């Protein structure tokens, strides 16, 4: 699997921008400190690293999973960051809102079937489900590792559930166009995990 210079740049910018956006969203006091010139550097650094290790990894591995499967089906596939959406995500984080649309993997080449297109789409949410299992043991570690586990499980559950909505450019619509039974099973699993994790960890 190859990455162009532009793609590597876009991946790095998206990862860092998401880290900044969620740093402010997760700790609104940082935005107020920045406004008054009293930014607590240690706290900001800790939250930034936490965001990179959880939110950034969840989003970018989701997109790279699309790329891997698309290439497997003979497509040319590259990630492209959406710089306007990344800027909006940072401003939303400063304002205390949750919003992130870092970009997407675009693929093309020879014609592919609905099944192949559906599998490319499904790869993203499935990756987030796998990441839930990776982050889950850390939830019980306590300290920074515990925080990484809680946020990692939470954000990946939300990503899996949200992306399976069969609307617009989201993955669920492509999976539904391929197979209603596969969509139904995938939606129940992803949306169910999102609901359970949000209720257990955040309610």
- Closest to 162 (Cα-Cα) out of 62, 17, 27: 62
- Closest to 29 (Cα-Cα) out of 50, 48, 18, 43: 43
- Closest to 140 (Cα-Cα) out of 200, 75, 88, 67: 200
In angstroms, the first-to-last Cα distance of the chain is 41
- Closest to 160 (Cα-Cα) out of 58, 69, 74, 49: 58
Q: The tokens of 124 are what?
A: 């993203």
- Is-contact 164 170, C-beta < 8 A? yes
DSSP letters spanning 7-75: HHHHHHHHHHHHHHHHHHHH-HHHHHHHHTT---HHHHHHHHHHHIIIIIHHHHHHHHHHHHHHHHTTE
Q: Which positions are catalytic?
A: 63
């Amino acid at each position: 699997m190859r990455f162009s210079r532009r793609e590597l740049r876009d991946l790095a910018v998206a990862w860092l921008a998401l880290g900044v956006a969620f740093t402010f969203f997760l700790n609104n006091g940082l935005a107020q400190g920045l406004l008054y010139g009293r930014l607590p550097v240690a706290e900001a650094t800790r939250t930034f690293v936490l965001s990179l290790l959880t939110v950034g990894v969840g989003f970018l591995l989701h997109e790279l999973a699309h790329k891997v499967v698309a290439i497997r089906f003979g497509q040319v596939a590259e990630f492209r960051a959406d710089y306007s959406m990344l800027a909006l995500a940072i401003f939303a984080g400063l304002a205390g809102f949750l919003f992130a649309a870092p970009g997407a993997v675009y693929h093309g080449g020879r014609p592919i079937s609905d099944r192949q297109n559906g599998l490319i789409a499904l790869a993203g949410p499935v990756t987030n489900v796998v990441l839930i299992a990776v982050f889950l043991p850390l939830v019980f570690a306590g300290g920074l590792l515990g925080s990484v586990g809680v946020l990692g499980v939470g954000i990946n559950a939300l990503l899996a559930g949200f992306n399976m909505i069969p609307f617009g450019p989201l993955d669920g619509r492509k999976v539904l166009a391929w197979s209603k039974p596969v969509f139904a099973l995938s939606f129940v699993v992803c949306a169910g995990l999102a609901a359970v994790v949000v209720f257990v960890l955040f309610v």
